[in-house]
Structure 1
């Protein structure tokens, strides 16, 4: 049986989620924006190792319940282990949320970094809406990749040398047309939520700006570097061919290979940098 991809990416997922939000911002959303002041029953679509539960449960009223569903057996196993001694009411289900039947009994349906991987994100959004009771909320934390790519600063490196935004945007747009998967979906969700009949639709942006400065704090910078570092693109010919298949011109694919190789070699733990993920947090009410 083919391994579920995200089962092999647990450590990467744990590192990357640290880049998005400050704890006080999540508390602000829960208490001041969503105004959750009584116990809620939450279903997390594509919960991974339960990181949203780890963030939300300490802030929710006592008596709240968090249910996570994911297709990754190792992810679900890891989530159960993380929560086994916690005081919170949690349940983790192994399954494909695209096919499993889900009752309309939840106060909140939520997902984080999931819709961008869906070939038919509207199908999943409808499923999220259908499982929420009247006056409940649907909440999606999703990226706008081109905005995220524009939000790096590397000291001593011109951004245009490291991240060619124009050709990346072209690539992302071609991916949507050919596969349906949309790394820029975060900024489109407010319109999708409106058109699916959700009410009081709003969208916020994640607040955290990561400051990597080894000259000031080497230990903090080292941990942040682990979360931010860029992987080597690997075999040159294979990488370039894969980009051409995704719609890049040969010269664009060559440039993209060279920039990714350059970043993987030159972005080191001794370099100062800043990064803001600018995740889009869209929410609406079921009526």
Structure 2
């Protein structure tokens, strides 16, 4: 049995990725923003089961290739099994991205919800840049947790009762300072990409707003509710003493930790499949051009 945490989360990854993007928006990015109108070779850092490959390959010109790299043995096995049934040119490599060497042979390096888990994201970004040919791109789909938590809409309950933004902001920032792993990295990425030397750096925001609608199809409502729960909205909490202690260890005062626990408990109590909810994950999509030489790909 694998000891790598993300190998145990394949179902979670499958059930929550659909919350983030509308397919027509991804198509707009590929065709109108990035203008990927000739075959390209993509490398995906922290590919998981190949989610981005499944989304992007159908939108890319015939002849494009996709290489996924991930530390997870089970994730890579799952990706190979999925893509073996599809008509695309793919390769999957199991390895620790912090140690693995990737040759400079790709037109685009991408990642999705990956850099937030890295203690040294600058080093990973440099690896991504080093694997891309002159004039190619680095594209990062990463979260901005505080914007994410601000983007809930409830019926019959005030947002501030169940989401304590000030406390969460402190919690996220303290955790990032202590560990280097930053759940708000989505908003930092344009700065990091430019500081590392990429040109024409820009950032977009994911467009999808999920609506748990009591008038929607029942099966679709149940599926969406389950996905939102797995995303972390209104999850059941552990022992309050343990949770408060953990938050204090992460930098909150006892009073702040207790207030945060009370807010999370209330959300768990009021949020169910009969709730009305809007939720916009607000993923940030940052990208830039590798500028060792002049390029026609800008």
Q: Is 1:258 paired with 2:262?
A: yes
- Alignment partner of 2:239 out of 213, 235, 254: 235
TM-fit CA distance, 1:270: 0.9
Q: Any residues of structure 2 matched to 1:162-241 within 5 Å, and which? A: 162-229=162-229, 230-241=234-245
How far the C-alpha of 1:252 sits from its partner, in A, is 1.0
> Which among 267, 270, 285 is matched to residue 271 of structure 2?
267
Deviation at 1:2, TM superposition (A): 6.8
Q: d(CA) in 2 for partners of 1:281 and 1:37?
A: 20
Residue 51 of structure 1 corresponds to which residue in structure 2? Answer: 51
Give a deviation string over 1:194-249, Cα, whole Å, max 9, x none. 11110111100000011111234322221111111132121211111110000011
Which one of the candidate residues 248, 253, 266 is aligned to 1:244?
Answer: 248
C-alpha deviation, 1:82, in angstroms:
1.1
Aligned match of 1:10:
10
Number of matched residues? Answer: 287
- Quick one: distance in 2 between partners of 1:82 and 1:189? 31
Between the aligned partners of 2:265 and 2:49, the Cα distance in structure 1 is 30
Q: Which stretches in structure 2 are left out of the alignment for 5+ residues?
A: 292-298
1:132 and 2:155 are equivalent in the alignment: no
Partner of 1:285: 289
**Alpha-carbon contact 1:212-1:220 (below 8 Å) kept:** no
- Deviations 1:115-152 (Å, cap 9, x if unpaired)? 11111100100000000000000000001100000001
Q: Give the deviation of 1:255 after TM superposition.
A: 1.5
1:89 maps to 89
Query: Is 6-15 or 110-119 further displaced after alignment?
Result: 6-15
The alignment's TM-score, normalised by the length of structure 1, stands at 0.98
Hey, what does 1:30 align to over in structure 2?
A: 30
Contact in 1 for aligned 2:137/2:289 (Cα 8 Å):
yes
Q: Give how far 1:156 is off.
A: 1.3
SS of structure 2 residue aligned to 1:86: coil
Note if contact 2:2-2:73 (Cα within 8 Å) is conserved in structure 1. no
Q: Please, which runs of 5 or more residues in structure 1 have no aligned partner?
A: none
How big is the shift at 1:265? 2.7
Q: Deviating runs (4+, > 3 A) in structure 1?
A: none
State the distance in 2 between where 1:2 and 1:36 align: 37
